[in-house]
Amino acid sequence: MSSEGSMGRGYGAVLASAAVLSTTAVFIRYLTQTYHLPPLVLALWRNIFTVFTLPLVLKLRWPHLLYIKRQHLAYLVSYGLVLAAFNSMWTLSVAFNGAAVATVLVYCSATFTAVLGWMLLRERLDVVKLIVVLASMLGCFYVSGASSPGLWRSNATGLVTGVLSGLSYAGYSLMGRSVSQRGLNPWTTLLYTFTFAGVFLFAVNLLPLSVPGAASDITELLWLGRSISGWVILLRHRYMVVC
C-alpha cells in the first residue's frame, strides 16, 4: 500500500475514533445520571465485556492471537495500567463535567501527545505544529469554561479530572504507537491490555479506601441488578466502542 493510502486510512481511523469517543461520553453520562452507576464500576464493566467476548472471537478465527511472548508481558501490564487510568479519568470526567465538556477536555491530549512524543520518542515538533498545539489547548481552555474563575471554585475537581483524562489518553496513544514496533498484533494487544486494565480497576473498586466514584463494597459491582434496560445500554455502549 502506498504512503498516501496508509495516511488516508490513518486519518479515517482518527476521525472514526473521535466520533466514537464523543458518542461514548453520551452513554456514560446517561448511565451515571439515570441509573446513578458509580463511574469506576462502569469503567470496570467496560473492560469486563471486552475480556469475556474477544477471546471467543479470536479462538474461533485466529487462535494463535491468544498467545504472547513472555518478553512482552511487562509492557502489556504497564499498557493496561495506563488504560485503566484513562478509563477511570475519562468516566469520572463525564460524570463530573457532562458529556460535552468532558469530550472537549479529553482532547487536550493532542497537546500532551505532541510534547511527550517530542520528549520521549524524538518526534518532530516544528513551529507550525507548535502553533496548532497551542491553539488546540486554548480552544479546550475556553470552550470548557476553564477561563471562568467561578467554574474553578465550583468544579475544580471536574476540570482537573478532565485534564488528567487528556494526559492519560496521550500516554495510552503513545504506548499504542510502539505496538507494531514490538511485533505485537493489535487484537492480541487489545485483549491483554483490557485484561490487565480490568484487573487494576477491579482492585481499585475493592480497595478499603474511599475512592471517589468506586464501589463502596463488592455488592455494588452489580449495581444495575435486574435492570435489563441498563445492562442493554451498557452492552451497546461497550460493543460499539470495541467494534
Between CA 233 and CA 240, with CA 235 as vertex, the angle to 5 degrees is 100
Instruction: Work out the average pLDDT over 40-47.
Output: 91
Rounded Cα gap, residues 9 and 13, in angstroms: 6
Best CA proximity match to 45, nearest among 235, 192, 191, 200? 235
Q: What is the dihedral of CA 22, 23, 25, 28, to 10 degrees?
A: -170
Condensed to tens digits (0 to 9), the pLDDT of residues 79-124 reads 999 999 999 999 999 888 888 788 888 878 878 888 887 777 777 8
- In this prediction, what percent of the chain has a pLDDT beyond 90? 24
Residue showing cell 479462538: 59
Rounded Cα gap, residues 185 and 193, in angstroms: 12
Question: In which band, very low, low, confident or very high, does the pLDDT at 8 lie, cut at 50, 70 and 90?
Answer: low
Question: Which of 40-44, 52-56, 160-164, 237-241: highest mean pLDDT?
Answer: 40-44
Rounded Cα gap, residues 214 and 65, in angstroms: 33
Question: In which band, very low, low, confident or very high, does the pLDDT at 139 lie, cut at 50, 70 and 90?
Answer: confident
C-alpha cell at 83: 488504560
Handedness of CA 79, 82, 87, 90 (dihedral sign): negative
Instruction: Work out the average pLDDT over 122-133.
Output: 80
- Tell me which of 52 and 117 has the higher pLDDT: 52
* Residue 154, φ and ψ in degrees, nearest 5: -90, -25
What local confidence, expressed as pLDDT, does residue 153 receive? Answer: 67
What local confidence, expressed as pLDDT, does residue 74 receive? Answer: 92
User: Taking a C-beta distance cutoff of 8 angstroms, is the pair 196, 76 a contact?
Assistant: yes
pLDDT at 243 over 50: no
Instruction: Work out the average pLDDT over 59-67.
Output: 90
Handedness of CA 89, 110, 182, 119 (dihedral sign): negative
Best CA proximity match to 205, nearest among 56, 11, 42? 42
> pTM of the prediction?
0.82
pLDDT at 232 over 90: no
Rounded Cα gap, residues 150 and 205, in angstroms: 32
Instruction: Work out the average pLDDT over 194-220.
Output: 88
pLDDT at 14 over 60: no
C-alpha cell at 197: 486494565
